Structure 1
Amino acid sequence: MYTASKDRYTAMDYNRCGKSGLLLPKVSLGLWHNFGDTTVFENMKQLCFTAFDNGITHFDLANNYGPEPGSAEKNFGRILKEDLGTYRDELIISTKAGYDMWEGPYGNLGSRKYLLASLDQSLKRMGLDYVDIFYHHRMDPDTPLEETMGALASAVQSGKSLYVGLSNYDGNTLQAAADILKELHCPFIINQNRYSIFDRTVEKNGLKDMTGKLQKGLITYSPLAQGQLTDRYLNGIPEDSRIRTDGRFLKESALNSHRMDQIHKLNNLAAQRGEKLADMALGWLLQHQEVTSVLIGASKPQQILDNVKAASCAPFTEEELKLIDEISLK
């Protein structure tokens, strides 16, 4: 039986999620890539144990994480049942619904029927009575926003979620949704969006600014741009890399000569700071006042140990921030 490290809260700092009462670790573990049925179960366990032993209390899932869809929740539920469940009150567990999950007209997007049915399925797969955060996973232009937000409020009112969040929204839709959730007295506290040195979408679509204005949390996924902001590809593409073994996310064509030049320049800057590129990339996100936590993915426990260091990344000078923009925005 797993016993957590007694020192698990000494290596991690925690940020308040917006102006709510909830604290999140600066580094959270996402179960997007490496918790499906194609991964060795023992490795999943060790990833979770390493994370929790180092102060990562937040585990982020979605109904469709796999492959196959639902398998990440199922596997995480087994880990909870066999080991981590003892520490349930020390864990923040989140899940989402919004992408295609089952056949027919009721297994996708933002209807009340889909969201609440999906949440029930997620709880069953994980063996939980409630999740800490339930997200709508993406905007649905065809369902009234009042219906989608009403479903999130119902999830809280029924005791199946403590808080709610929005994922992949833009600034204008976020503001409209927040107004509805406020009227419903629903504890909406967090946004989850893709954000990295190489992906500035939230800076362009108003999401980041609106998050700050509304005093909500922001947790960022793909903070290392699918491994581009690491030393993984500095000397070519390894045979065991995700590009070779799983081409769903990062394509080899993305690593063109211009992108490789950017990566090498950023790596040189990180070296001048006495850091690895991944540390600097995560630290760059955390220096933004709006960012509450960064979601890392990992295939090996050592990657988690390396990424935890970003929680204590050295401050950036104005010159360094300017240089990062000059390199990455060309």
Structure 2
Amino acid sequence: MTYRADTSRYDSMQYRRSGKSGLKLPVISLGLWQNFGGTRDYPSAMEILGYAFDQGITHFDLANNYGPPAGSSEELFGQVLARDFKPYRDELIVSTKAGYNMWPGPYGEFGSRKYLLASLDQSLKRMGLDYVDIFYSHRYDPETPLEETMGALAHAVRTGKALYVGISSYPEAETRKAHRILKEMGVATTIHQPSYSMINRWIENDHTIDTCGELGIGIIAFSPLAQGVLSGKYNSGDKSGTRGENPNGSLRASHIEPRVLAAVDKLGEIAKSRGQSMVQLALSWALRRKEMTSALVGVRNLEQLKDNLGVLNNLDLSAEEIAAIDAATADGQMELHPRPSGWLR
């Protein structure tokens, strides 16, 4: 059966401008990091992606290394674009990134012009697109001049292969420098994608969030649920069917140590008092500041997506609730900060 988008798809979603740009994003965006790789069949993928678009989620976030295996998320999304989303391409924001290891040899990762532009061409081919809406430098490369990395992003815009460009997991000083270099090249830094959650506040601690607000850069938070920790699912001690089941996966033991889970228990009481799920509380919090454009969520099934979208019913937090969240998480922070090797990706 041919997919036809719901005619009321824009009735309930909220959209925010990305910094000082003309680009607006839904407050909830959908990422295809770990749940849309080679083990996901087309019908189940389309069930989630079609429902997301029917609810006004116009932004789908990918990267060259998303899968597993690497590249498979873009390939699957390319099939969706060709078979079901093709009539709606101009309503979609498709983003991709390059920065992590993709192929052998010295040109297969980090921030060189050679790698970034080769990767972008590969991503476009996998998705069957002429351009992406947003192309990111996925991580800061301390060994490549930032002028070269930003020059590659500017080239992507000038050649029409990306409409907007952004950075991901860049600390405050590097964010400022990247913005300045791109501005000198006549290209805007439209968006920053850092990790951010109630128990991971590095962008507040090093003032990256304030800097983005000052410079007019939008922010889309990845891992606003801290790899699912803020859903409360790890508090039972049962890791089956979760990212915690894989000892070599992206979820680390330090992310679910007792002090973190104790904070999650306290947050559960706050969520209950608001009539929200813990997921919805976490998203409300991540979106509470004016600098935040969107929260990027990842889901395994339709039920999780619906839970995420429930945040639209109660986005506002009072000053008292924010203070209670601060107190509840004071001893449960993950104390993460981006490093050259990256984290969680």
TM-score bucket of the superposed structures, by smaller chain:
over 0.9
Structure 1 length-normalised TM: 0.97
One-letter amino acid matched to 1:328: T
Per-residue CA deviations over 1:35-75 (Å, capped at 9, x if unaligned) read: 11122332111111111010000000000111111111011
**Structure 1 residue 238: Cα displacement:** 5.0
User: What is the aligned partner in structure 2 of residue 285 from structure 1?
Assistant: 286
Identical positions, percent: 50
User: What is the aligned partner in structure 2 of residue 326 from structure 1?
Assistant: 327
Give matches, 1:152-167, under 5 Å.
152-167=153-168
User: What is the aligned partner in structure 2 of residue 169 from structure 1?
Assistant: 170
Q: Is the contact made by 1:12 and 1:26 (CA closer than 8 Å) also made in structure 2?
A: yes
1:281 and 1:24 map into 2 onto residues whose CA distance is 19
Task: Tell whether 2:19 aligns with 1:18.
Answer: yes
Change beyond 3 A, Cα 1:90–1:325: same
One-letter amino acid matched to 2:285: W
- Gapped regions of structure 2 (runs ≥ 5): 332-345
Give matches, 1:48-127, under 5 Å.
48-127=49-128
Q: Is the contact made by 1:15 and 1:292 (CA closer than 8 Å) also made in structure 2?
A: yes
**Structure 1 residue 240: Cα displacement:** 2.2
1:21 and 1:259 map into 2 onto residues whose CA distance is 39
Moved over 4 A (4+): none
**Structure 1 residue 262: Cα displacement:** 1.0
SS at match of 1:194: coil
Task: Tell whether 2:266 aligns with 1:265.
Answer: yes
One-letter amino acid matched to 2:119: S
1:153 and 1:253 map into 2 onto residues whose CA distance is 38
1:285 and 1:164 map into 2 onto residues whose CA distance is 22
Alpha-carbon RMSD across the aligned residues, in angstroms, is 1.4
- After superposing the two structures, state which structure 1 stretch, 315-324 or 142-151, moved more: 315-324
1:296 and 1:66 map into 2 onto residues whose CA distance is 15
**Structure 1 residue 274: Cα displacement:** 1.2
**Structure 1 residue 126: Cα displacement:** 0.2
Paired residues, number: 330
Change beyond 3 A, Cα 1:314–1:57: closer
Change beyond 3 A, Cα 1:246–1:76: farther
**Structure 1 residue 242: Cα displacement:** 2.7
**Structure 1 residue 170: Cα displacement:** 0.7
2:247 and 2:25 map into 1 onto residues whose CA distance is 30
Change beyond 3 A, Cα 1:324–1:122: same
Change beyond 3 A, Cα 1:71–1:318: same
One-letter amino acid matched to 1:9: Y
SS at match of 2:296: strand
- After superposing the two structures, state which structure 1 stretch, 146-155 or 235-244, moved more: 235-244
Q: Is the contact made by 1:231 and 1:276 (CA closer than 8 Å) also made in structure 2?
A: no
- Gapped regions of structure 1 (runs ≥ 5): none
Give matches, 1:219-234, under 5 Å.
219-234=220-235
Q: Is the contact made by 1:283 and 1:313 (CA closer than 8 Å) also made in structure 2?
A: yes
1:129 and 1:149 map into 2 onto residues whose CA distance is 21
One-letter amino acid matched to 2:278: L
**Structure 1 residue 89: Cα displacement:** 0.3
User: What is the aligned partner in structure 2 of residue 208 from structure 1?
Assistant: 209
One-letter amino acid matched to 1:263: V
One-letter amino acid matched to 2:320: E
**Structure 1 residue 314: Cα displacement:** 4.2
1:9 and 1:91 map into 2 onto residues whose CA distance is 12
1:240 and 1:219 map into 2 onto residues whose CA distance is 27
SS at match of 1:293: strand
